[in-house]
Structure 1
Amino acid sequence: MTTSRMRLKLVAAACGICLLSAGSASAMGLMQAYESALVNDPTYRSAVSENIAGKEFRKIGRAGLLPTVQYNYGTAKNQAEITQPNPYISIQPGVPTITNNYDYTSLTNTLSLRQTLFSLDTTARYRQGIAQTNYSDALFTARSKDLMIRLVASYADAKYAEDQLDLFRAQRNAFAEQKRINERMFEKGEGTKTDMLETQAKLDVAEAQVIEAQDNLLTVRNTLAAIVGAEVTQLDGLRPDFHIMSVVPASFDEWMNIANENNPEIIAGKYSIEASEEEINKSKAGHTPRLELNASYNRAISDSLVNRSQDQTIKSIGVQLVIPLYSGGYVNAISNQAVANRDKARAELDATRNRILIELRKQFNAMQTGVTKIDALQKSVNSATLLVEATKQSVKGGVRINLDVLSAEQQLVATKRDLAQAKYNYLISFLKLRVAAGNLTMDDLQTVSAYFSPLN
């Protein structure tokens, strides 16, 4: 199945999913968001159209190798007046000239064919067209993978913003509950005014954090909505049984070899150099001869005054040799320009390869360190949760003070927030590593999607 057909099927499936889910557009899973983005994301739609246009380079280049057939038809109403010396002046003295008037219709029909037999320019254009189409396909592949990354990153940002809002609300509620406890203890003479003021200050800050988190959530949801083409008010959350994936292959050198062979941006750079090489061949062909086969069929009726009232049919076939001799330095100039552009394409490929390898190393390291970071933060969350409960009990026993409870609550919220962000970053690094290597597939997106589940 061709890439175009696969893309059409994906779009059709996405349209069906969008229609089926129209009634519940507010709740959106990761795969549903991706299917919607295939239809609605402006950047991806632009890439699709650009790729469709790029595929025509192959046909444009091939056209020069195929025959050109042309048909011409013409008809005209002609009137002519011819004045000439009187050949019968001896018989008609006094009449030095004779004027004749003609009125006739002319008709011409011409069918011509031209076929290139030898042309280095045409051959170079054909090979260049293939390279340009391959470049367009590779670039589209890169942009298709970019859509996955942009979507998952935006989805994770929106979900992380939801998590932050939930955490800040929980913190605010905890402070509000602590405030009520302080007030009851103060009324009984067991608490202090200082405890109430401390709690009120923390509660005010928590209220401000909730408002800020709400604004941030609105912003990231709008960013996601621009990609999926629909308003999003609810997303699937991370599953509680978050597990670590193994990095296969485990060697960075293997990942580097995979990237050099499969990364679509590197492949596109190679095709860009190939197209530039053919541009050099095409420009240098301006000094080489060109051989063409020409054939024509011509029928003319009264095509001229001399041939009026005559019906002529002419058939011809032959070859034409064109040898360029001098073009004012044009060929040398465009050849030098093409060489410079080829060198530029090589330098750009080196820059692209360096950028890709740096990104590959970054994400490879992020996957490895992410495992340790998530494990450490999970332990920290467990400890912080126990600390909050223990501190509350210690306050009742007079060992700890109110400020210790507030600090423990804040530490728990911060640790849960850091853990959530570490998990999202880990999943994004998993995809980015494969994007840099050039082996990201729908199965990888499905793998990440399995980490999310609808909220109960």
Structure 2
Amino acid sequence: MRHFLQSKRGLLVQAIGAALLAHSSGASALGLMQAYEAALKNDSVYRAAYFTNEAGKENRVLGRAGLLPSLSASYSGSKAKSDITTGGRTVKQDYISRSTSVQLRQTLVNFDALARYKQGVLQAEYSDAIFLSEAQQVAMRVVGAYIEVLFKQDQLALAKSERDTYLERMKVNDRMFEKGEGTRTDMLETRARLDVAEATVLEAEDNLAATRITLQSIVGADVNMGELDALTPAYNRPPEDTLGLEGWQRLVMESNHEVRARKLGVDISQQEVNKQRSGHYPRLDAVASYSKADSDTINTINQDSTTRSIGFQLTVPLYSGGAVSASTRQAVANREKAKADLQTEIDKAMLELNKDYDSLVSSVKKIEALIKAVDSGQLLVQATEQSIKGGVRINLDLLDAQRQLSSTRRDLAQARYTYVLSFLKLRAAAGTLSVNDVREMAGYFR
């Protein structure tokens, strides 16, 4: 498990290094991989998770400290004035008192320290799991925002194309009307569709601007129109998944970072129970000390003493007002809550997995169907144009065919993007999403 975490962290370090190189190169285009690398460097949520993990690593050292020797030293010095009265006679004494001591303590039997050590190790691993989860989430945020901008660009392009088609159709209607071959109804129908298309273009422009701002906030850089790489036509027929739903479910139980963090939470809660119960158990320490005193008391004025000692100290708790029992019951309740949270996380992960898997499988079939639908729609538009010339169809039929073609193209773009997101979501759910997966997916964007 430790090797697995180190390898994951190594990939993240490589990605951050690549981000710095990309940043220094001053490249204007923002590809998917460049956006991801920039987010690792600039995304505030990821940076917060990184430093949270750095703090969490120290729990391992803090837990271990209770099992290691502790060494302390003290020094005191004072000027004393005393009056000593004996048989009615008073003698004044002025002297300097000094005391120096060094103590070494080593725990031999300490159930509290042992529980704290185990808990510290688990807390460090918990922090790693949360960080790896956030590393996956930043990838999903970047890809999601990147694809959303592309989709909004596609919608804008389709809206403009539809508007331009209506503009051209308006010109055709005008010419035909002038020649007496068209009707005013055809002109009004096209004008109505054109007005709606103009409004759709404006709405698409606003939506694109909003999604661009979202992507900019993640990558920490300006994103200009036309700057992003588009999904290539080669991704129209993505490879089908061969692992199967059961295979993905096994990976969720084995590697999902959120599930793993909840499992560690249960173990941490168990160590908290052990720690609280240790309040009833004795503690045994080995203690060695060295002390040196000069005029330490009024009876040792002008006397120096040196003391060396080594031995054992046994501490047996007897009664603390019921605090130990109460804190133990509290820890047990929190452990049961952690178990319930674990089951909730498993159910949530499985639900999301099933949804993403179904989306992945259906997207493949949907993409294939929509490719055929686009080809058919183009043929329908061409055939309708010819039919109008032959007097078989009317202008409204062509407008409907063109609108249906635009809608089908939009649905095809959305299906392709849905497959990309489902592909990455499945790997994130399985806990296997890495820089390599983002790099592989970025290869389909040019």
The TM-score bracket by the shorter chain reads over 0.9
1:62-77 equivalences in 2 (<5 Å)? 62-76=64-78
- Deviation of the 1:302 alpha carbon: 2.7
Is residue 221 from structure 1 mapped to residue 223 from structure 2 by the alignment? no
Matched with 1:82 is 83
SS at 2:318 equivalent: coil
Q: What is the DSSP-based 3-state SS (H/G/I as helix, E as strand, rest coil) of the residue aligned with 1:245?
A: coil
Deviation of the 1:410 alpha carbon: 0.8
1:16 to 12, 15, 21: 21
Give the match's secondary structure for 1:440.
coil
- Cα distance in 1 for partners of 2:11, 2:175 equals 67
* Residue 213 of structure 1: how far off its partner (Å): 0.4
* Aligned partner of 1:100 among 92, 96, 112: 92
Q: Which residue identity does 1:117 align to in structure 2?
A: L
Equivalence for 2:435: 442
Which of the pair has more CA radius of gyration?
A: 1
Indicate if the aligned counterparts of 2:240 and 2:364 stay in contact, CA closer than 8 A: no
Q: Which residue of 2 aligns with 1:248?
A: 242
Q: What displacement does 1:187 show?
A: 2.1
CA pair 4-428 structure 1, distance change in 2 beyond 3 A: closer
- Counterparts of 1:184-195 in structure 2, within 5 Å, are 184-195=175-186
Letter in structure 1 aligned against 2:19: A
Equivalent position of 2:53 in the other structure? 51
Counterpart CA distance in 1 for 2:212 and 2:407 is 22
One-letter code of the match for 2:297?
S
Aligned to 1:260: 253
Q: Are 2:201 and 1:205 aligned?
A: no
For residues 22-421 of structure 1, the aligned pairs below 5 Å read 23-24=27-28, 27-76=29-78, 78-82=79-83, 84-85=85-86, 87=87, 96-102=88-94, 104-233=95-224, 234-242=227-235, 243-249=237-243, 251-421=244-414
**Alignment-mate amino acid for residue 98 of structure 1:** T
Instruction: Quote the offset at 1:374 in angstroms.
Output: 0.7
- The CA deviation at 1:83 is 5.2
The amino acid across from 1:291 in the alignment is L
**What residue is the counterpart of 1:90 in the other structure?**
none
Partner of 1:431: 424
Q: Which moved more, 1:232-241 or 1:162-171?
A: 232-241
Return the alpha-carbon distance in structure 1 between the equivalents of residues 358 and 11 of structure 2. Answer: 34
Q: Which amino acid aligns with 1:80?
A: K
| Structure 1 range deviating more: 415-424 or 365-374 | 365-374
- Residue in structure 2 matched with residue 93 of structure 1 by the alignment: none
Aligned residues: 438
What is the TM-score with the length of structure 1 in the denominator? 0.92
- Once residues 122 and 62 of structure 1 are traced to their aligned partners in structure 2, the CA distance between those partners, rounded to angstroms, is 8
Question: Residues 157-205 of structure 1, C-alpha deviation per residue, up to 9 Å, x if partnerless?
Answer: 1110010001101111111111111122222222222222211111111
Task: Name the CA distance, whole Å, in 2 between partners of 1:271 and 1:443.
Answer: 27
Whole-angstrom distance in 2 between the partners of 1:410 and 1:319 = 90
User: 2: distance between equivalents of 1:33 and 1:202?
Assistant: 38
Segment drifting more, 441-450 vs 319-328: 441-450
Change over 3 Å in CA distance of 1:29–1:267 after alignment to 2: same
Partner SS, residue 92 of structure 2: strand
Partner-residue secondary structure (3-state), 2:76: strand
* Residues 1:199 and 1:51: Cα distance change in structure 2 (over 3 Å): same
2:80–2:97 contact (8 Å) kept in structure 1? no
1:349 Cα deviation from its structure 2 partner:
0.7
For structure 1, the 5+ residue unaligned runs are 88-95
Structure 2 Cα separation of the partners of residues 75 and 369 of structure 1 = 82
Task: Say which is worse superposed, 331-340 or 4-13, in terms of deviation.
Answer: 4-13
- SS of 2:106's equivalent in the other structure is strand
Unaligned runs of at least 5 residues, structure 2: none
Contact 2:12 2:435 in 1 (8 A): no
Whole-angstrom distance in 2 between the partners of 1:9 and 1:159? 27
Deviation for aligned residue 1:5: 5.6
* Structure-2 separation of matches of 1:108 and 1:7: 55
